[in-house]
Structure 1
Amino acid sequence: MADLPAVYQQIAAVSGQSARALSFLILTAVRSGEVRGMVWSEVDLEAAIWIIPAERMKANREHRVPLSRQAVALRRIQETEREELVEHVFPSNRKGPLSDMAFNALMRRHQMAAVPHGFRSTFRDWAGETTNHPRDAVELCLAHTIDTKTEAAYRRADMLEKRFVIMQDWADFATSEGVTPRMND
């Protein structure tokens, strides 16, 4: 967990869509398929929120992802290089979504001893061990479902305001080495 900022810096120093998408994955703590499938219409930069439709979520429920300043900045970089008629925010060379192996290949190529899903685990460990953020809000950041039907029936809100604070704290930690993702060469 302590080496996450250095790992983020290593990824951010790499040019290309896979590295930028992996940087965005770290900043948002979402699953890799959610980032790879992200399309322009899902993000409201003014509100700093990414709405992932239910059909793209593991639990089959819409997920609102609060975006940190760093995530918004990265999304804006993508917009400056956006090609007309390309639907995905982080497109592959073929202009469709990145391959499900894109992140693994990037991490292997740069000799990172981790897997993309491990960043979600790192987020959970960071939140639980180094912050006082409410457990339920942290679990909602990860789009985890509630264990019991009774608890689910009583929790209707998604704690968005609390999650904005959590995600900004996380992004500040992840980027504490001070490197921003590279532009494409």
Structure 2
Amino acid sequence: MLHSHYSIQILTAARPGGVRFCSWSEIDYERKIWTIPANRTKAKITKKHMVPLPEQAIAILKSIPKIGDFIFIIKGDRPISDRTVKALVERMHKQQKSIDGVGYIDINQDNRLIVPHGFRSTFKDWSVENTDYQDVVTELALSHVNSDKARAAYARSQLIDKRCPLMND
């Protein structure tokens, strides 16, 4: 289950908490969209955040049994905890460190252990270094809110048509 959680997080560039609390009712297989309600976004923005689902994410979601409303559950129908998500990274790090003496560290963050939220930074680096997508498109993929209130007032589109190809690349 945790591997599926990480895969969805990486494929969608979503925040770990967004994935942990993702429910089946938020997934639209026909439109290939995951809709995160406004009250679950980091900035508590006034509008929902729509996440294009790449084909790989759709396949993973369809492989997960529907037990409760939450997709990623542990013990009954409760969503997995933040600690459970982080514990897998720690176990993977220890295992890799026993092999190579290094493990999974972030050389750009004073050699600290990687964290699930760091996948989003990796997504941003990848999109800047390897694609020609506009910054506004990648920022929307990360659900970042424009801090310039005047610009934000006019930038109402979620640019789904431009974000779909990005998420499938």
TM category, shorter: 0.7 to 0.9
Q: Distance in 2 between matches of 1:150 and 1:75?
A: 38
Q: For 1:142 and 1:77, how far apart are their aligned partners in 2?
A: 25
Matched pairs, number: 149
Task: Give the number of the structure whose residues are more often strand, by fraction.
Answer: 2
Residue equivalent to 2:110: none
Separation in structure 1 between the aligned mates of residue 23 and residue 153 of structure 2, nearest angstrom: 31
Name the SS for the 1:110 alignment partner: helix
Q: Distance in 1 between matches of 2:18 and 2:79?
A: 10
Aligned to 1:31: 15
Q: Which has the higher contact order (CA 8 A, sep 6+)?
A: 1
Q: CA offsets, 1:93-147, max 9 Å, x none?
A: 2320100112210011111431101100000001111110011010000000102
Unaligned runs of 5+ residues in structure 1 are 1-16, 170-185
Q: Match for residue 174 of structure 1?
A: none
Length-normalised TM-score, structure 2: 0.85
The letter for the 2-side match of 1:29 is A
Provide the rounded CA distance (Å) in 2 between the counterparts of 1:102 and 1:124: 25
The answer for the alignment partner of 1:152 in structure 2 is: 152
How far apart are the structure 1 equivalents of 2:43 and 2:72?
23
Note if 1:115 corresponds to 2:99: no
Q: How does 1:60-139 map to 2 (within 5 A)?
A: 60-61=44-45, 62-78=48-64, 81-83=65-67, 86-111=68-93, 112-113=104-105, 114-139=114-139
**Percent of aligned positions with the same letter in both sequences?**
42
Superposition deviation, residue 41 in structure 1 = 0.3
Q: C-alpha root-mean-square deviation of aligned residues, in Å? A: 1.0
Whole-angstrom distance in 1 between the partners of 2:157 and 2:8: 25
Note the C-alpha offset of 1:34: 0.4
- Residue 143 in structure 1 maps to residue 143 in structure 2: yes
Structure 1 runs (4+) greater than 3 angstroms displaced? none
